[in-house]
Amino acid sequence: MTDVLRRGRASLAFGFFAQGVAFALLVTRIPAIQDRYGVSDALLPVFLAAVPILAGVGSVVSERLVRRVRPSRLLRWSQPVVLLALLGVGAGDRVAVLAVALAVFGLAVGALDASMNMLGVSLQRAYGRSIMLGFHAAYSLGGILGASLAWAGAHWDLALWVSYLPVVVLLLPAALVGSRWYVDGGREGAEGAGAGEGTGAGEGTGGVGAGVGFKVLLPLCLVMTFAYIGDSTVSNWSAKYLQDVLGSSEQLATVPYNVYMVTTLVGRALGDFGVRRFGAVAVVRGGAVVAAGGFAVVASAPGAWVGMLGFTLLGLGLCVLVPQTFAAAGRLAAEKDGRPGASDAAVARLNVFNYVGFLIGSPLVGALGDAWSYRGAMLVPMVLVLVTVVYARSFEGQPDRYGGGHERPRTADVGRGSNGL
């Protein structure tokens, strides 16, 4: 494996990490943002919904942009915009400023998420073995750090801009420097070109991804949506569920999401080894069953500690689904449409359903909890996650496994999707 690919992998992992920090700093300080700008409870959901909606728009636009520019360039410039928009959220003093900052943040996050996963998929194909979960583990690590920094800012009652400024000052130049080693493009990119030299994913591709229609990607789009419905259920309802349904203290109610984040990190850090040993289909099926079991434990828990066991299982199960879904989309696009950039277009389309699941999950559980019961509401994401088992064959590549004589020759076909997922 060339040094170019190793540097590309390390720099992309840092990009995932930085994005995890930035996103966690935003979502965990929503109460402080509401207080700073005087946003009413009635208006707050509008602001919160606007971010994923605009992120979806950014992802759609990214699909068009990568026909003309390399994904590495899109990532190189979208990440600083995300960080500066975060600082804008913390430094403004009028609702109009907040609206603009969140709009920019949402659009840039859509482009950032899409381009990061495009490069992750292309690097995985170049490596010839599963590495995609490792990138998402870096994102989870960044999320844990960002949430911890947000807790410290709230604990010491720091102004938002005071919490955000040091992070932006550290991460922005580091991300720009690291972007020099992003790798994308065709065979030339793997053999010695970085982001500034390789063949662009969209250069001369014409109708990139035209052979990969929505119908082909539909099973993966559903899996992505269901995974994020499960994830948003944990992030938005775990504390309320533990306190109101299972009778925990307010302090204990903050623990499940932290446990969920840590187990997500652990599962992703180890997940690539599982894919190499057992294959992507087995890992996805296992993750879906474990996640469904977690929801079942949460729904039937007699007390808070059993409920936390359920949220622990959820972290271990859900963590593998999203990275593997991106990888499978890239592999499927490469098989259906071998032109350069086909996998990039597929990843951008799939990324939209990240935000669809996020938008559906929290309101769905809330509505069911109010109309029925919160225990019963937990069974709905359980069933949706189990549907992933039905679609697990969509994650099968040629061959299905890595290692043990099954590994494909490491041809450096960077930019054409995942290998063996």
* Sequential DSSP letters for 299-337: HH-SSHHHHHHHHHHHHHHHTTHHHHHHHHHHHHHHHH-
Would you say residue 402 lies in a domain?
A: no
How many structural domains compose the chain? 1
| Mean pLDDT score, 88-93 | 94
* Predicted TM-score (pTM) of this structure: 0.87
Share of the chain above pLDDT 70, in %: 87
Region 281-299: what's the mean pLDDT? 97
Residue 38, helix vs strand vs coil: coil
In-domain check, residue 409: no
* pLDDT reading at 9 higher than 80: yes
Q: Per-residue pLDDT averaged across 227-249, rounded? A: 92
CA triple 402-15-394, angle to 5 deg: 35
High-pLDDT (> 90) share of the chain, %: 71
Confidence (pLDDT) at 122: 93
Confidence of residue 340 (pLDDT cuts 50, 70, 90): low
Helix axes 304-318, 255-278, angle to 10 degrees: 40
Q: Token pair of 231, please?
A: 């994830």
Asked if residue 106 lies in contact with residue 58, where contact means CB atoms within 8 angstroms, the answer is yes
Residue 406 has pLDDT above 70, yes or no: no
pLDDT for the residue numbered 184: 82
Q: Report the C-alpha gap between 269 and 262 in whole angstroms.
A: 11
Question: Tokens 């080894």 appear where?
Answer: 273
pLDDT of residue 408: 43
Flag whether 420 is in a domain.
Answer: no
pLDDT in tens, 179-221: 999 998 543 443 343 433 333 333 333 344 444 677 889 999 9
pLDDT in tens, 25-75: 998 889 899 999 999 988 988 998 999 999 999 999 999 999 899 999 999
> Which residue carries 């992703």 as its tokens?
268
Per the structure, the complete domain to which residue 380 belongs is given by 3-395
Rg value, the chain, Cα: 20
The whole-number pLDDT of residue 398 equals 52
Q: Is residue 417 in a domain?
A: no
Q: What is the mean pLDDT of the chain?
A: 87
Structural domain includes residue 207: yes
What is the predicted pLDDT for the residue at 1?
A: 57
Residue 411 in any domain: the answer is no
CATH number at residue 304: 1.20.1250.20
Domain-located, residue 410: no
354-403: pLDDT as tens digits: 999 999 998 999 999 999 999 999 999 999 999 999 999 889 865 434 33
Asked if the structure places residue 380 within a domain, the reply is yes
Picking from 115, 177, 187, the residue whose alpha carbon sits closest to that of residue 343 is 115
